[in-house]
Amino acid sequence: MKTCFLGTGGYTGRVAYRGWPTPPELCDRQEAANSMATAIRNYKLAEEAGFDWVSISEHHYAPGLMTPNPAILAAAVSQQTSRVKIALLGPLVPLINPVRAAEEIAMLDALSGGRVVVLFLKGTPNEHATYGTNPAETREITQEGVELILRAWTEPQPFSWEGKYFQFRTVSVWPRTVQDPHPPVFYSGNSDESAEFAGRMGLSCAIGFAPPPKVKQQVDIYMKAARAAGWEPTRDNVLYRGRMIIAETDAAAQELAERIAGVGPGTTPTGAPAGAGGGDPTAGPAGVQFLGSVESVVKKAQALHEAGVGILDVAFAGGGMSRSMELFGGAFGPALQEVA
């Protein structure tokens, strides 16, 4: 299995209030700069620890994940790493200009030497409030936006676009992406409709925070749609996102998870609601899908592999990033090479 490190770009200072939106006055200007430096350092650690990918998400108005434009942080990471794929997981299509996104991602692909992977998402309800997007339209906006971006990357001549949500008299994206015809594109598979869209469009599929039986259900829907469209995905086309606390023993991991879950109202260090399982009723304290010793988390990875997953995108919860990276690089990552 391939592995992906989900970095949060989170604020490293202390903030008493962690609701949404968080007042800007609580953000120390120098600490914001320190936070970005820490994020880049963690991505470098991930490459050194043996992760295959690193990922960056788009979020707004809160300290847990300070990445309103993931492409900017990704560009910085591209200059500090040399091997890992750089995954934008992902830009929120209802909040952005899709042609501008196509241009920026093409630039990033050139800057990184063709290491970009992208997952386009519709975002969560609070994100839709960022710029006043109508939540009832976000699924259609996202699907139309993805089709427009794909055409912008592959159309050899200038073209016009007259859609329901986007209209452009002229689209002619420069630079072209280094990867031909374009970077690998993932789409959410959390809902049945989204999984079907991904399969029908020839895209890869990403599922987050769900238990293995639910993952298998969504993978089956995705595979059926792909086969109907005339192609056969592999496990490398299926990504799973979850939170991880990995420790020397199950007891040590459990203790840390319980400590995180007891922080009260607000968010965990991963930016998720404290105690939330993200749709996985089997998740441990603080909504951690991968919880325990190396042996325990490998068993969970094996179950997901059997459900059709080939790429694990994990966020380390609870601090202790250096030690988590050591355990990953020394034991968990190599153990995953045996998962088949």
State the maximum Cα–Cα separation within the chain, in Å, rounded to a whole number: 60
Between 150 and 338, residue with greater pLDDT: 150
User: Given a cut of 80, is residue 109 above it in pLDDT?
Assistant: yes
Please state the length of the chain: 340
User: Given a cut of 50, is residue 299 above it in pLDDT?
Assistant: yes
Domain boundaries, the chain: 2-336
User: Given a cut of 50, is residue 122 above it in pLDDT?
Assistant: yes
Give the mean pLDDT of 101-116.
98
* Structure confidence at residue 275 (pLDDT): 35
Tell me the percentage of the chain whose pLDDT exceeds 90: 80
Given the candidates 3.40.50.1820, 3.40.50.720, 3.20.20.30, 3.30.160.250, the CATH classification of the domain at 2-336 is: 3.20.20.30
Cβ-based burial of 54 (10 A; exposed 0-12, middle 13-18, buried ≥19): buried
User: Given a cut of 90, is residue 303 above it in pLDDT?
Assistant: yes
Residue-wise pLDDT tens digits, 171-180: 999 999 999 9
Element (H, E) at 160: strand 159-162
Tokens of 196: 């079907």
Q: How many CA atoms lie within 13 A of 154 on its CB side?
A: 11
